[in-house]
Amino acid sequence: MFDTWLQNQNKTMRSLIWVGVPAFCWAIWRCRNDVIFNKLKTNRFMQVIFRGAFWLRFWAQLQRDEQAKAFLSAISKKLEIIALDISNKGWKLFYSLL
């Protein structure tokens, strides 16, 4: 499913997507570990989003191409802004975006 969608992207975008997907998988895994092993109670999706944005920005610094660095950093910041808007203004904002 994901592979078919990726085939329609150019090579540069595919490589950037393959940086972002593992960043959010890692964020989900780390949040899961906090809940399971550290007995932390997380009831917000925000923690996963912000942790994923952190890892995305962190891994962006490992990119050789300066445009890729800037793009991934900008995407991570935009994700944080959207998450904050949704949490502050509620789901009404989210549904208005659809």
State the DSSP string of 25-87: HHHHHHHHHHHHHS------HHHHHHHHHHHHHHHHTT-SSHHHHHHHHHHHHHHHHHHHHHH
What value does the mean pLDDT take over residues 75-95? 77
Predicted confidence (pLDDT) per residue in 16-75, tens digit: 888 888 888 998 899 889 888 988 876 677 888 898 999 999 988 988 889 989 999 999
Residue 94 has pLDDT above 80, yes or no: no
Prediction pTM value: 0.72
Q: Is the dihedral of CA 17, 92, 98, 85 positive or negative?
A: negative
The rounded distance, in Å, linking the Cα atoms of 78 and 66 is 18
What value does the mean pLDDT take over residues 4-20? 80
Per-residue confidence band for 77, with pLDDT thresholds at 50, 70 and 90: very high
